[in-house]
Amino acid sequence: MFMKLPNLSMLQHKTPNTSHYLREQNIQLFGAKCFINVEPLHSVCWAYSSNPRRPLFSHLPRGIWIEPSSGAIIAGLPIYFQVFSFVSRFPYLRNSDEAASERREMKLNIAYPTTGCQKVFEIDDEKKLRIFYEKRMAQEVEADALGDEWKGYVLRITGGNDKQGFPMKQGVLTNGRVRLLLSKGHSCYRSRRDGERRRKSVRGCIVDANLSALALIIVKKGEQEIPGLTDTTVPRRLGPKRASKIRKLFNLTKNDDVRKYVIRRKLPEKEGKKPRSKAPKIQRLITPVVLQRKRRRLAMKIKRSVKRREEEAQYHKMMAQYSKEKQAAKIARRRSSASRRESESARYSKSSK
- Pairwise CA distance, residues 61 & 42, whole Å: 12
150 CB neighbour count, 10 Å cutoff? 21
Among 216, 147, 138, CA closest to 171: 138
pLDDT the model gives residue 340: 86
DSSP code of 138?
T
87 Cβ contact partners less than 8 Å away, ≥ 6 residues apart: 93, 94
Identity of residue 39: E
323 Cβ contact partners less than 8 Å away, ≥ 6 residues apart: none
- Pairwise CA distance, residues 3 & 19, whole Å: 19
Contact 133, 141 (CB under 8 A): no
pLDDT the model gives residue 64: 40
Question: pLDDT averaged over the chain?
Answer: 77
pLDDT the model gives residue 48: 30
- Pairwise CA distance, residues 148 & 137, whole Å: 25
For 324, the 3-state DSSP assignment is helix
Residues 273-289 pLDDT 10s? 999 999 999 999 999 99
> How many degrees, rounded to 5, is the angle at CA 197 between CA 193 and CA 201?
125
Extents of the domains making up the chain: 2-100, 105-220, 236-283, 287-348
Please provide the size of the chain in residues.
353
Q: Is the pTM of this model over 0.85?
A: no
pLDDT higher than 70, residue 56: no
Contact 76, 7 (CB under 8 A): yes
Q: What is the mean pLDDT of residues 146-161?
A: 94
Residues 121-149 pLDDT 10s? 999 988 999 999 999 999 999 999 999 99
pLDDT higher than 80, residue 102: no
Residues 312-340 pLDDT 10s? 999 999 999 999 999 999 999 999 988 88
Q: Comparing 11 with 186, which gets the higher pLDDT?
A: 186
CATH match for 236-283 among 3.90.1150.10, 3.40.50.300, 1.20.5.2650, 2.60.40.3080: 1.20.5.2650
HSE-up of residue 40 (Cα within 13 Å, Cβ side): 19
How buried is residue 288: exposed, middle or buried, by Cβ count under 10 Å (0-12/13-18/19+)? exposed
DSSP code of 76?
E
Contact 227, 150 (CB under 8 A): no
Q: What percent of the chain has pLDDT over 90?
A: 58
Q: Comparing 186 with 100, which gets the higher pLDDT?
A: 186
For 242, the 3-state DSSP assignment is strand
pLDDT band at 298 (very low <50, low <70, confident <90, very high): very high
Contact 114, 131 (CB under 8 A): no
Contact 107, 139 (CB under 8 A): no
**If you write DSSP's letter for every residue of 166-228 in order, what string do you get?**
PBB-TT---SSEEEEEE-TT-TT---SSTT--EEEEEE-SB--TTEEEEEEEEEE--SSPPTT
